[in-house]
Amino acid sequence: MVQQEVLDRTFAALADATRRQILIRLGRGPASIGELAEPFGMSLTGMKKHVHVLENAGLVTTEKVGRSRQCRLGTERLEDAMSWIRFYQRLWERRLDGLDAYFTLTKEDDR
Amino acid sequence: MVQQEVLDRTFAALADATRRQILIRLGRGPASIGELAEPFGMSLTGMKKHVHVLENAGLVTTEKVGRSRQCRLGTERLEDAMSWIRFYQRLWERRLDGLDAYFTLTKEDDR
DNA sequence: TTTATAGTGAACCACATGGTTCAGCAAGAG
DNA sequence: CTCTTGCTGAACCATGTGGTTCACTATAAA
């Protein structure tokens, strides 16, 4: 399975509405810290922290260009998160699909 | 879009390796707090907190049976998380698919 | 060269998290 | 009824989070 710490950081990064909005905004193209901060009425420092969390999770990459910092979407990390959820769902669906088997199988620890 | 707070709680609940393990364990059938705590060598109180987080996120449901508490998997919340990720991925893929269109479209706010 | 602008870092704040211990309470077993 | 067991709640601790302000650096513009 994927590194647990990577999943930790990825899911934690996604667990904030502001950061999810940032990702959606970056889906429309790169932006600077200031451009990202403006619609939220947030300080540059505050926004930089969010970007840092996203960058740490590999969901965003940034690059200093002149005196501004361009932020872009990262690539593969959402795939990791999704594939974990899919794995888990397979577990869960298997349980539902075989409810009969489930009831007989777990009779002893189900009580 | 789905309630932001629900997504917050769902992703936050998933952002912890212990809790992901708990979900996988519950994928094999219901368990009590004690049964969940044992493999982690964790106190009952500690485990109860994790279960509470998962329950708050709707990923797990619990029911007091006698003096023990049965924990089971919840249902639809992982779907919410997955569908948000899918939505975001669609944004991102669209950007990659139409790179030309992207460059012309975002000329003004890209600088 | 001066000045305005974009971002950075440190320090601070209130509050959440992940864990513990300890004292209790409620249900089942003897 | 008594004892054991499984969970619960309160209190505590160290650390992280989401935000701020203020002082500073570095680049761009005049």
The pLDDT tens digits for A84-96 are 788 777 776 665 5
Instruction: Tell me the C-alpha distance between B101 and B95, whole Å.
Output: 9
Angle at B20 between CA B17 and CA B22, to 5 degrees: 110
Alpha helices (H) in B43-106, listed in sequence order: 44-56, 77-97, 99-105
pLDDT above 70 as % of chain A: 77
Q: pLDDT tens digits, residue range B10-40? A: 999 999 999 999 999 998 899 999 999 999 9
Interface test with B, best of A5, A91, A93 (most B CBs within 10 A): A91
- CB-CB under 8 Å, B11 with A17: no
Selected residues 22-81 of chain A with any CB under 8 Å from a CB in chain B: 23-24, 27-31, 35, 73, 78, 81
> Residue A66's Cα: distance from chain center in Å?
29
DSSP A94-106: HHHHTHHHHHHHT
Amino acid at B50: H
Digit-coded pLDDT (tens) for A45-92: 999 999 999 999 989 999 999 999 999 988 667 777 778 788 777 776
Distance from the A104 Cα atom to the nearest Cα atom in chain B, whole angstroms: 11
CB-based contact (8 Å) between A96 and chain B?
no
